[in-house]
Amino acid sequence: MIRIATSAALSGLLIAACSPGSQDPAEPELTETETVIEVPPLVEEAPAEADVSPDTSLPSDTREIETVGYPEGWEMQPYWSGEYPNGFAVTDEGVTVMGHETITFEEYPPIYCGLPHKATYSPWNAERIESNELSFVAMVFPTTFTITEDVEVEVFLGKDVEMLPLKAGDQLIYKSYLAEGFFMAEKDGVLYEMNEAELPASTEFEQGPEDQEWVHVTCDDADQTRAWVLYQDAIGANGVEPYEYTGFAEASDLP
């Protein structure tokens, strides 16, 4: 089995929901205080043929990232999921998007952030990441899935590949999606990378809300204002379009 994930020398990668399909969960109570989430590194990658595993590292000064108002149950992952992660490009001049000083769950006052014409914001655009000090993270809502029949599945644990025996009725936590059916799952406090294809077709997955993907940008103003921009807010702005990839792990500003 070949592991598929993302590229090296970038600040994170990969889209998808934190569980297959999504629907809004029951209305949780919002917190009123700020929290600080320390983003843990994912398990180390096992050696593999054509290794394109995600670079989940963050610059040292962004390992502690503040959030505001997220209900209990949300967690942070230091990359954007998917074989081809989301990205957006600025197609017009004078574009302004809504950002925030802090990653927020619909609470924090906005920062109106100008973005440079033709800039592309993608976890694969290394040049823009370096010049604008971009960081890509996502807020995800882990859910559970239940094994309905005895099975033994191949999993990655650190640098090792092993067979994990599962019994009917076992429940695991679906932490976050990677790419090509691979995802992070937790069982008995241990974090595994596994492939959905290895699980029985009858496996029962709980549904959760969509991931919320954030990028920390440098605004195009005299003060070089820093702001967190939500992907959905960015592509909803006039003069911003989803980025069209021309190849795997390839992204650049528009010509």
Alpha-carbon gap, residue 190 to 12, rounded angstroms: 22
* Residues 40 and 78: beta-carbon distance below 8 Å: no
Domains and CATH numbers, the chain: 34-140+212-242 (no CATH), 143-205 (2.30.30)
Placement of tokens 């920390």 in the chain:
216
End-to-end CA distance of the chain: 38
What does the pLDDT read at residue 159?
85
Where is pLDDT greater, at 203 or 12?
203
**139 pLDDT tier (thresholds 50, 70, 90):** very high
The three-class DSSP label of residue 234 is helix
**106 pLDDT tier (thresholds 50, 70, 90):** confident
Percentage, residues of the chain above pLDDT 70: 75
> 149-174 burial, b for 16+ CB within 10 Å, e for fewer?
eebebebbbeeeeeebebeeebebeb
